[in-house]
Every structure is written in C-alpha cells, then in structure tokens.
Amino acid sequence: MDFKNWYEIKLKKIEEYLETYLPCCENRQKKIYESMRYSLNAGGKRIRPILMMAVFEIFRSYDEDSIMPFACALEMIHTYSLIHDDLPAMDDDDYRRGKLTNHKVYGEAMAILAGDGLLNKSVETVLQNRSLTGLSPEVILRCLEILMASSGTEGMIGGQVVDMFVEERSLEYLEYMHRLKTGALIRAACQIGATAGGASEEETYKITQYSDYLGLAFQIKDDILDVTAQESDLGKPTGSDEKNDKLTYVALLGLKESESLLQRYTGQAIESIKYLGDKSQRLVEIAEYLLERKK
C-alpha cells in the first residue's frame, strides 16, 4: 500500500476512535464536552498518534486497535496544550487550523476547563479501555508512565515554561526547549508504540533516536513554515513568531541554515532506523512526509 493510502486509513481510524472516546454528552455539563470536542475534532495532521501506530505496527500488525487508547490519549494531550497555549494570558491567538481558537468561541473560563478536561480525559481513556487492549496491567502502567512523563514539567509543560520565559538566545537553549516542548510527545509516541508492541531494548533505543531527530526536524519545519507558508495552508497568520519576537530556528540561524539543518536531522532520523530494514518503511515515509509538508 502506498503511503498516502496508508496514512488516510490510519487517519480515519483515529477520527473514529476519538469520536468513540469523547462522544457528545447531554447532561448539565454538556457545554464542556462541546468545547473539548470543538478543538479535538478540528482536524490536524494527527502526527503523534500516526507515529505511535506506525511503530506499534512494526511489532504487532495483527491487532493494531490495541494501541488506540494510547494513540487517542496522546492526541488529547496535544490538543489540550494548544487550547491553553492559545489563551490570552499565554500566546493570545485567535485562529488555529483555520478556525477560531477555543476561548474565542467558548470564553476563557471554559477554555481553561476544557484543557484541564482533555488532559484528565486522556488518562481516563487509557484506564477505561485498558481491558480491550489485551496488554498486561504492567505494560499499561509502563506506557502510561511514558505518556505522563512526556507531558509533564520535565516534558511538554516544562518546554512551554522555557519558551515563555526565554533566558538566552542560543542554539543550545533553543534545542533544550524543543526537546521538551515538541520533542517529548513525539518521543513518547514512538516509545509507547515500541513498549506496547514488545520491541527489544535495542529496537526501542534506535526508535527513540529516530524520534529525537524527528522531533527537532519537526520543529525546524514549523519555524520555517511560519515564515514561508501560505496563510490559507497554515490556517493561522504567518509571521507570528517574528511579531512576538519568539526564539526560533529561523530567528537564530536564518532561513537557509535552518533548511539545511532540517535536511540533516531528517537524514539522521532515517539513518537511526536503517537497522530495522524493511520494517522501517513507514517511519522513513513519515519523516519524508514531515520534511515536505506545506502546513
């Protein structure tokens, strides 16, 4: 199957499961479900669950649905982080993926609660669906531990703090920030896929290396797109990093050097998983897809 078809099949599965795990609700707090669903169903590349599924498939292609609670939990965490990042007290953004941001539609109070609700729901999703995964309780706990470490103060949240209160404009500082802010969830996607799939220690090590290069490449591409993309592709205003005087690869290295670093990290990501031979096909394709993307 070619990559485009494969990706679309996975994407469809993710959307279906997200709908199952977070359906409409008709009780007195239904408004928060509406708000959470508004952001969760706003599309996006779903790259984190896609990565997790691709890694899991290498080892356990016969029961790919087992990984869906974790894949969706990760996407919920990513989504909550966007809702909170967009708040007036944070980045104060009005648009995301071509739609109004959560607080612009539901108000700030509800956006704060919807973010909290999605983080909470991510863990609930894993716990409530754990018996369907066929994974042992201990493996579930290990995967959950990877997930929560990656989203916490030594992961994504920590990266957000470092980004908000920039103390130093150096490449070393920038990469410290991105390993946490963007990198941690991408790494978790791959590590959970490997752990749940039963990968060996060496396989997990190589896949983690892949994910670390991929995470940095992903961020460089984001920084480049903020300068070069069409607003209609991006779904939000371009040039916002520069306007907000953000510390980015482009601000630090310029566009040309950022492009070449993007190429280099993508190559290193692919190099890391050569060891897996044919089984690495989807991971290579994902790296190439992320390199070429227009949004």
Q: Which residues bind its own copies (CB under 8 A)?
A: 25, 27-29, 31-33, 36, 80, 84, 87, 89-90, 107-110, 112-113, 115-117, 119-121, 123-124, 127-128, 130, 136-138, 140-141, 144-145, 148-149, 151-154, 157-162, 164-165, 167, 173, 176, 180
CA gap 248, 181 in Å, rounded? 13
CA gap 217, 240 in Å, rounded? 20
Task: Tell me whether residue 123 or residue 227 sits nearer to its own copies (CB atom).
Answer: 123
To the nearest whole angstrom, how small is the minimum distance from the Cβ of residue 152 to its own copies? 4
CA gap 287, 40 in Å, rounded? 24
Q: Two tokens at 214?
A: 């991929």
CA dihedral 64, 66, 69, 70 (to 10 degrees): -80
Taking each helix axis as running N to C, give the angle between helix 137-151 and helix 108-128, from 0 to 180 degrees, rounded to the nearest 10. 160
DSSP 96: E
Task: Tell me whether residue 36 or residue 58 sits nearer to its own copies (CB atom).
Answer: 36
To the nearest whole angstrom, how small is the minimum distance from the Cβ of residue 91 to its own copies? 9
Task: Tell me whether residue 124 or residue 285 sits nearer to its own copies (CB atom).
Answer: 124
Task: Tell me whether residue 81 or residue 204 sits nearer to its own copies (CB atom).
Answer: 81
| C-alpha closest to that of 204 among 59, 46, 12, 22 | 59
Residue 8 CB neighbours (<10 A): 10
To the nearest whole angstrom, how small is the minimum distance from the Cβ of residue 206 to its own copies? 25
SS3 95: strand
Task: Tell me whether residue 2 or residue 26 sits nearer to its own copies (CB atom).
Answer: 26
CA gap 129, 109 in Å, rounded? 30
Task: Tell me whether residue 149 or residue 284 sits nearer to its own copies (CB atom).
Answer: 149
Q: Two tokens at 187?
A: 């790494």
Task: Tell me whether residue 50 or residue 113 sits nearer to its own copies (CB atom).
Answer: 113
Q: Two tokens at 281?
A: 């096909």
Q: Which residues contact 127 (CB under 8 A, 6 or more apart)?
A: none
C-alpha radius of gyration, the chain, whole number: 18
CA gap 49, 72 in Å, rounded? 7
To the nearest whole angstrom, how small is the minimum distance from the Cβ of residue 29 to its own copies? 4
To the nearest whole angstrom, how small is the minimum distance from the Cβ of residue 243 to its own copies? 18
The rounded Cα 246 to chain-centroid distance in angstroms is 20
To the nearest whole angstrom, how small is the minimum distance from the Cβ of residue 106 to its own copies? 11
Task: Tell me whether residue 152 or residue 254 sits nearer to its own copies (CB atom).
Answer: 152
To the nearest whole angstrom, how small is the minimum distance from the Cβ of residue 75 to its own copies? 16
To the nearest whole angstrom, how small is the minimum distance from the Cβ of residue 270 to its own copies? 30
